[in-house]
Amino acid sequence: MDKPKYLDKSLSFKERAADLVSKMTLEEKASQLRYDAQPVERLGIPRYNWWNEALHGVARAGVATVFPQAIGMAAMFDDEFLEKIADVIATEGRAKYNESAKKGDRDIYKGITFWSPNVNIFRDPRWGRGHETYGEDPYLTSRLGVAFVKGLQGDGKYLKTAACAKHYAVHSGPEDDRHFFDAIVSQKDLYETYLPAFEALVKEAKVESIMGAYNRTNGEPCNGSKTLLKDILRDGWGFDGHVVSDCWAIKDFHEGHGVTKTPTESVALALKSGCDLNCGNMYLLILLALKEGLITEEDIDRAAIRLMTTRMKLGMFDDDCEFDNIPYELNDSAEHNKISLEAAKKSMVLLKNDGLLPLDSKKIKNVAVIGPNADSSLALRANYSGTPSQNVTIIEGIRKRVSENTRVWYAMGSHLFLNRDEDLAQPDDRLKEAVSAAERSDVVVLCLGLDASVEGEQNDQGTVILDAGGDKADLNLPESQRNLLNAVLATGKPTIVALLSGSALSIGDAADKAAAIVQCWYPGAIGGLAFAEMIFGDYSPAGRLPVTFYKSTEELPPFADYSMENRTYKFMKGDALYPFGFGLSYTSFEYSNMVCPQTVNNGENLSVSVDVQNTGSVDSDEVVQVYIKDMDASVRVPKYSLCGFKRIHLKSGEKKTVTFEVASNAMSIVDEAGKRHIENGEFTLYAGGSQPDKVSESLSGKKPLEASFNVK
């Protein structure tokens, strides 16, 4: 008997998928359009659950290597290393999938279609899910997102795993309103800020999947938006993969947004607009929508073929996919955990150092490690995480690193957000113990911040605790931690503040009174060791902020206002507490000899180089940043924009020439109609270890180099 066409490897994946779908009954086709796709045993199609997560490691399916949360990986400013991390995640995903499939375990979170990365723009520091993103800058987000997708998907005949760019589009809070909220955005802001990362992931990284956001954008629900899904995604960018709804988002069409009257109308709007896969249960009504004449069988076929094409690309119907042999032994391996530790080291951002750091472990006899995040494993893991086989919290890292003659004093000091730790106690019941520990120490490490129980997705990880749906009301530390901070600083002991959080915090007096401040993010399972090795000088920190740390929310527009006016480093009017792109080091760098042509033809890229020398006594990484400013624009443009970055390593005294190819796109403007083009005129480039703002200059003592050129 002849082999069916869908098993013929000489045909394209799409041709094979179309043949396979043509052999299915109507009911079988409809059953493939749900995240929990049903088996069709007569055609050799096993059950498959599409829902899996890999934001910073394979998530929610048991043990896996847990890397720093996405915002921490963004702080590395290292797209090449991020691609390596994503490749490791894909390896572990395949290892776990192969083992699960052998055991007949095809449950949720056991597949190889990963609903990551999140490339929404972190436009407002109050957004609880911001730590799932790569920060506030469209260029940085694009470069990191492309790297992550390439790492997940690989570059072979088959996809190693399938990545998904989410949440398309214009989604960044408020969390509690997302099921009925309409994100009103100008065409200029849409194309200048909110869409570039999605476009880059589609065009450059060939991302296999797109997930629609819960909200409406300019009146259309994102999972049923002709503008987003057809006009821009398919017709404009040539997207050729499949679209998945966010979970239970399609029922919001009639229940929250009120754009449809019945569930079957919602199903029809989503399917006809190009939403192929339903995370949720609305597509159980596909056949009823067909019976009511709201959709056609061709609509069902189109979606089923797209989904089966993805499964074909993953090698699910072939016996020679090179990834089928990845063994379970590679999951959570020592090598992968070493990479996680390296990522945590690269993500640490030193915000302040009055000379206390690095510490000399031989001279310290007593160290107090205090705070609700000192021994917190949740503050290591963040949300959307796997289960670490080991947790190295901050205090555990310090215990591993100090000499055996050093006493490590521990005190929780306060609850993370409640005013007491024990139910029957008085407020601040852990405070005096913390003061006692601090008084006995040579140095205090004060571990403050948040965790995934108080900032994150609506209803995820129990984020309803603070009644803000996972968002923050303001940038302040919880009152219990503010009391602890003030009490410890009042002892006069040299204090290192370690902030474990996924977003900007305003830390009040600590900015002036603490000897050192380190932004640790949620640093992954071994993050405590990375922190300890940094404060004891085993390596020099070089992480940079991928978001602006504002002084307060009072200077920001209303949370629900999606205009970019007065948001992010590009458009903010005031001075930052700590600027985007900022981070200190244990050494010093000298920039010189910036070389840039004086003119460039309109539409051509520009090559620029700069010499960087480590002029200090410590070997260190440095993040070289290039920003561009349009001096002659006819419309509102950013103050300046990041257009290049490279993380390099320089030994003490070493000098390197770093070359950047500035894309012509960096010279473009977006007009009020959302059209992008390049105007002739003068531009200024800045190259240095930070953005060219006065706060970065004041904090670092360095001013970036400048060069001008003309576009003709």
**Residue 562: how many other CB atoms lie within 10 Å:** 27
**Residue 226: how many other CB atoms lie within 10 Å:** 13
Nearest to 167 by CA among 119, 199, 238, 202: 119
Tokens of 78: 């290292």
Contact residues for 656 (Cβ-Cβ < 8 A; gap 6+): 611, 612, 613, 648, 650
Q: Are 601 and 644 in contact (CB under 8 A)?
A: no
Strand ranges, E, within 545-595:
589-595
Catalytic residue among 182, 455, 457, 621: 455
Q: By CB neighbour count within 10 A (0-12 exposed, 13-18 middle, 19+ buried), where does 271 fall?
A: buried
d(CA 9, CA 315): 10
Residue 461's H or E segment, with its range, is: none
Q: With the CA atoms of 5, 10, 14 and 19 taken in that order, what torsion angle do they form, in degrees rounded to the nearest 10?
A: 0
Nearest to 472 by CA among 487, 452, 489: 452
Q: Name beta bridge partners: 711.
A: 600, 681
Beta strands 209-212 and 242-244: pairing type? parallel
DSSP 557: P
Give the 3-state secondary structure percentages of the chain, helix then strand then coil, rounded to 5. 35, 20, 45
d(CA 344, CA 529): 9
DSSP 32-91: TTBSEEPPBGGGTB--EE--B--SSSS-SSSB---PPPHHHHHHT--HHHHHHHHHHHHH
Amino acid code (one letter) for 236: G
Q: What's the CA angle centered on 28, arms 296 and 259, to 5 degrees?
A: 45
Q: What's the CA angle centered on 40, arms 35 and 43, to 5 degrees?
A: 130
Catalytic residue among 246, 457, 630, 693: 246
455 classed as catalytic:
yes
Q: Are 627 and 649 in contact (CB under 8 A)?
A: no
**How far from the centroid of its chain's Cα atoms is residue 656's Cα?**
30
Q: Are 578 and 657 in contact (CB under 8 A)?
A: no
User: Can you tell me which residue has the tokens 């900015």?
Assistant: 511
d(CA 628, CA 367): 45
Tokens of 35: 């995240």
Coil, strand, or helix at residue 441?
coil
246 classed as catalytic:
yes
Coil, strand, or helix at residue 496?
strand
**Starting from the edge strand earliest in sequence, which strands make up the sheet with 242-244, in order?**
164-168, 209-212, 242-244
Nearest to 383 by CA among 61, 52, 69: 69
d(CA 39, CA 216): 34
Q: Are 600 and 711 in contact (CB under 8 A)?
A: yes
Strand ranges, E, within 534-690:
589-595, 599-600, 606-614, 620-630, 641-650, 655-662, 668-670, 676-678, 681-688
Coil, strand, or helix at residue 601?
coil
The catalytic site residues sit at: 246, 455
